Structure 1
């Protein structure tokens, strides 16, 4: 099967969609499918890249960008001429990208599958207005003409305002995690030394992009929670893994709260080093404050690493974290509750280990790529049959 993955962002840009598209594509290629990833060159790197024998990337020139809205004339031309594929798979939010894919799908009679990863964050008033109009009108009209609409969780799908015709096309297919790479057998001792942690330090970990578009990650609330935690237990420290323009603001907040030495920023963590960051932490926290956080792949990475997880109880996220089983769900922006839950896990070592074991079990049962790829193959074949192709 020849599959065109259409995504607004891809590596070296860092984020949930980028990771999802890469992992889905490489795992599909292991089943002998040929994948082309068509994206926009937001990082101004080489346009063509061969990832493996069956996975290639083409990055189209970017003409204009406003917030996360991307305009690429080359992208429009490329997709309208992409007639040599069995399936289009679009990853949204991708204003204009989705609409152009719908047109190409109708022209070439190629089935179209969409994965809805979340909504854009609110920018200034003008962008928020445009984004709202697009979601309510253009996106919802476009979704009427796709074959299937995929969500990673059911709770996030029901949180969106979609009409009945669109909802009939919804399917839930979870994402997966590399259980060989992220494992409880990894040893984080070397990294503890690198970042200046002692054997007695208790480490809370956050992993995520800290670009100005990602304020919804709520890292400032986590820093404030640490301030409360250390008034009770001064062995707890916070490791923030991620880079972006928010780092300077967060460092200033840590300074205001006299936590310069207790909040450690790791802004240049390699792919090889990341699994060991999870390995050395005592608890992982994702304190997101709003809807754009529709899943949180980092939660799966932490769970696969055998760690207890704490996250905000948002649609999507609350399908991943099983409250009281793999960790805790907390109210968004509730610093007191966040600090109390972290302290409870830090204090009760047996409870933390129990949550960690439960996390690993959930990953093995529900989030293995081998099983997820089979679901995609079935879905793709179903879409091809609906369009008059017998499938493969």
Structure 2
């Protein structure tokens, strides 16, 4: 099976996390025996002129590849920018089209994404398969547009040969260590996390906490300024970004992972599952696809999106747990992550795509 992959998101040396789920998709499909011909935009452009040049070249290559017809199906990651060439060339496309919706491409307050989704809506209604990262996000999108042939596949899943515990025991030695791994951008909740730590420092001074934040983004300077203003420089370590194979060491070095996203478009949240796969319970916003895998008190705790007081209370509640409760949370976290194994989910998706090619 030859797949023509179209995506405006793909990792680069400078942006190792950007579109990492697309790279994982390619790897998973190739391991199943597929040939993946990629037309992608690597990394984020600096400045609007660079971005414009990247998109012009991307659209040109899409037109050439789609027109050639030398593929068995077209797989598009994103229902907005990446799908537009398919919409424009739909009359000449004779092979199945699959669209993988990820988040803000379908649920967005941004004018551009919303406009592109409306332009591509008719294309989505004619697709042979529409893939969603989680059941919760699928239900949210289907409330606004009744897309045919929905299918859930968790954004490449978790490579459990990489993300796994190194010990069968779980314990906390003071100080308690908390981790955050995500982009430092609007809506990701880094500010909620830092403010929660400030609240704990002010009202629970006896609770010794250290935090590590891993991520790059447009708001790093604002984040560092907030850390300084709240007097938390001695409590928080910031690491700009790391390749994916370095992340397991970060997860295993912490006691709990915090995922405080405020985005309604949070369609899954692979970082939460990566932490769980390493045996680390999570505290996360009750929002989007996170609700597919986080169960209150079983493998972690919820917090209200954008509410630092509530997040602080969840962290304090976690810190008060006994060793038997912590070990149970850790064990349940690993069991939850097993359902998102990349190899098992790749087989399921590959079989669905094969059916389309045979039809």
Provide the TM-score with structure 2 as the length reference: 0.88
1: CA distance, partners of 2:347 / 2:107: 36
Q: What displacement does 1:105 show?
A: 5.7
- Of residues 102-111 and 352-361 in structure 1, the stretch that sits farther from structure 2 once superposed is 102-111
1:303 aligned residue: 276
1:109 paired to 2:99: no
1:338 paired to 2:311: yes
1:58 aligned residue: none
| Alignment match of 1:143 (pick from 92, 115, 124) | 124
The Cα offsets for residues 169-201 of structure 1, whole Å up to 9 and x where unpaired, read as: 2122234101111111179xxxxxxxxxx9632
Contact 1:303 1:356 in 2 (8 A): yes
Give secondary structure in 1 for the equivalent of 2:144: coil
2: CA distance, partners of 1:270 / 1:159: 32
| Alignment match of 2:182 (pick from 205, 208, 216) | 208
2:154 aligned residue: 174
Question: Mapping of 1:126-275 within 5 angstroms?
Answer: 128-135=110-117, 137-160=118-141, 161-164=143-146, 166=147, 168-175=148-155, 176-185=157-166, 200-210=174-184, 214-230=185-201, 231-232=203-204, 233-275=206-248
The Cα offsets for residues 348-392 of structure 1, whole Å up to 9 and x where unpaired, read as: 14223221110101122x111222122112211222234xxxxxx
Q: 1:249 to 1:377 in 2, by over 3 A?
A: same
2: CA distance, partners of 1:244 / 1:290: 16
Q: What displacement does 1:111 show?
A: 0.7
Q: CA RMSD in A?
A: 2.7
Q: 1:272 to 1:151 in 2, by over 3 A?
A: closer
Q: What displacement does 1:104 show?
A: 4.6
Q: 1:7 to 1:119 in 2, by over 3 A?
A: same
1:47 aligned residue: none
Give secondary structure in 1 for the equivalent of 2:51: strand
Q: What displacement does 1:106 show?
A: 4.7
1:19 aligned residue: 20
Give secondary structure in 2 for the equivalent of 1:36: strand
Q: What displacement does 1:122 show?
A: 10
Q: What displacement does 1:11 show?
A: 1.3
Give secondary structure in 2 for the equivalent of 1:277: helix
How many residue pairs align between the two structures? Answer: 346
2: CA distance, partners of 1:150 / 1:88: 13
The Cα offsets for residues 282-335 of structure 1, whole Å up to 9 and x where unpaired, read as: 100110112132111101110100000111111211112122211112211121
Flag structure 1 segments of 5+ consecutive residues without an equivalent: 45-61, 188-197, 387-392
Contact 2:63 2:85 in 1 (8 A): no
Provide the TM-score with structure 1 as the length reference: 0.81
2:80 aligned residue: 94
Contact 1:122 1:128 in 2 (8 A): no
2: CA distance, partners of 1:14 / 1:286: 19
The Cα offsets for residues 24-83 of structure 1, whole Å up to 9 and x where unpaired, read as: 221221222211221024457xxxxxxxxxxxxxxxxx97637xx944343343333341
1: CA distance, partners of 2:179 / 2:60: 40
Flag structure 2 segments of 5+ consecutive residues without an equivalent: none
Contact 2:277 2:337 in 1 (8 A): yes
Contact 2:279 2:334 in 1 (8 A): yes
Contact 1:105 1:111 in 2 (8 A): no
Give the number of the structure with larger relative contact order, counting CA–CA contacts within 8 Å between residues 6 or more apart.
Answer: 2
The Cα offsets for residues 213-258 of structure 1, whole Å up to 9 and x where unpaired, read as: x311110000000112223144112110011231111111111111
Q: 1:300 to 1:216 in 2, by over 3 A?
A: same
1:289 paired to 2:290: no
2: CA distance, partners of 1:27 / 1:294: 20
2: CA distance, partners of 1:361 / 1:177: 12
Give secondary structure in 1 for the equivalent of 2:126: coil
Q: What displacement does 1:138 show?
A: 0.9
1:48 aligned residue: none
